[in-house]
C-alpha cells in the first residue's frame, strides 16, 4: 500500500500507443516493400558478391563523375572521405546507400567531398542511412509512403534530402569532425519529426 507499482504489459502497450498517436500505419500492400528495405539494410558488404562490388563502383563513379572503375582498396577512397581499418578502403562491412537517380550536378552527395574538404563522407552516409531506416521502423514515414504508394523511393529521396540539409549546415556553420555529432542530432530530429519538410526542400532544390 502506498508503493508505486511497475506498469503491466497493458500499461506499457497503452503508453506506446499514446506515443504513436497521430502517426498513420503503413498500408498493408506496402509491408512487403518495407520488409525488403529493412532486409537490405542488414546486408553486410561481401567482397565475393558481384552486386556489392558493382555498388562500390557505382558510388565511386557517381562521386568522381568518372567513367572508369577503381580498385577495391587504395588511397582513392580516402579522397572521397572514406575511412576504413586500413585507412584506404571503404568502411568494411557496410554498403553506404546512394541515390542513383539524382542529376550529375546535384551536390548531394555527388559533389559533396569536393565542395566540403575533410568531410567524413562515409561515416555521415552510414549514419544518415541508420536515421532513415529508424524513421521507417518507427512508422514516421508511413504518411509519405502511403501518399506515394512506395517505400524505397521515399527512403532514397529522404536520404538525399538529409544529405542536402547536412551539406548546408556543414557549410554555413563551418562543420568539423569534432562537431559532427551535433549535425547528426539535428538531422535525426528533422528526419523523424519533419520528413515532409525535408523532402520539400529537396524538391525545391531540384526544381531550380
SS3 of residue 173 by DSSP: coil
- DSSP letter at 102 equals S
Q: What is the pLDDT of residues 33-73, one digit of tens each?
A: 999 999 988 888 888 988 888 888 888 888 777 888 788 88
Give percent of the chain with pLDDT exceeding 70. Answer: 71
d(CA 89, CA 107): 22
Tell me how long the chain is.
Answer: 208
Q: How far apart are CA 162 and CA 108, in angstroms?
A: 9
Nearest C-alpha neighbor of 109 from the set 93, 90, 122 = 122
CA angle 82, 88, 90 (to 5 degrees): 40
Helices and strands (DSSP H and E) totals, the chain: 9, 0
Stretch 149-168: mean pLDDT, rounded?
Answer: 92
Q: Cell for 3?
A: 508503493
Q: What share of the chain is helix, strand, coil (3-state, %, to 5)?
A: 60, 0, 40
Asked if pLDDT for residue 92 goes beyond 70, the answer is no
Q: What are residue 99's phi and psi, to 5 degrees?
A: -85, 105
Neighbours of 202 (CB within 10 A): 22
Cell of 140: 514516421
Q: Are 107 and 167 in contact (CB under 8 A)?
A: yes
Q: How far apart are CA 194 and CA 153, in angstroms?
A: 17
Amino acid at each position: 500500500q502506498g508503493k508505486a507499482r511497475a506498469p503491466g504489459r497493458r500499461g506499457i502497450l497503452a503508453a506506446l500507443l499514446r506515443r504513436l498517436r497521430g502517426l498513420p500505419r503503413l498500408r498493408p500492400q506496402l509491408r512487403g516493400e518495407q520488409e525488403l528495405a529493412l532486409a537490405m539494410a542488414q546486408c553486410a558488404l561481401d567482397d565475393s558478391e558481384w552486386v556489392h562490388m558493382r555498388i562500390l563502383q557505382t558510388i565511386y563513379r557517381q562521386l568522381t563523375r568518372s567513367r572508369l572503375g577503381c580498385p577495391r582498396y587504395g588511397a582513392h577512397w580516402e579522397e572521397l572521405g572514406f575511412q576504413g581499418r586500413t585507412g584506404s578502403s571503404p568502411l568494411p562491412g557496410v554498403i553506404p546507400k546512394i541515390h542513383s537517380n539524382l542529376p550529375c550536378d546535384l551536390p548531394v552527395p555527388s559533389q559533396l567531398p569536393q565542395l566540403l574538404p575533410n568531410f567524413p563522407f562515409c561515416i555521415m552516409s552510414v549514419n544518415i542511412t541508420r536515421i532513415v531506416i529508424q524513421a521507417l521502423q518507427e512508422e514516421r514515414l508511413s504518411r509519405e509512403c502511403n501518399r506515394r504508394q512506395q517505400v524505397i523511393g521515399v527512403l532514397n529521396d529522404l536520404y538525399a534530402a538529409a544529405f542536402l540539409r547536412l551539406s548546408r549546415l556543414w557549410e554555413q556553420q563551418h562543420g568539423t569532425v569534432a562537431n559532427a555529432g551535433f549535425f547528426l542530432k539535428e538531422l535525426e530530429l528533422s528526419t523523424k519529426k519533419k520528413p515532409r519538410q525535408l523532402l520539400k526542400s529537396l524538391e525545391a532544390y531540384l526544381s531550380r
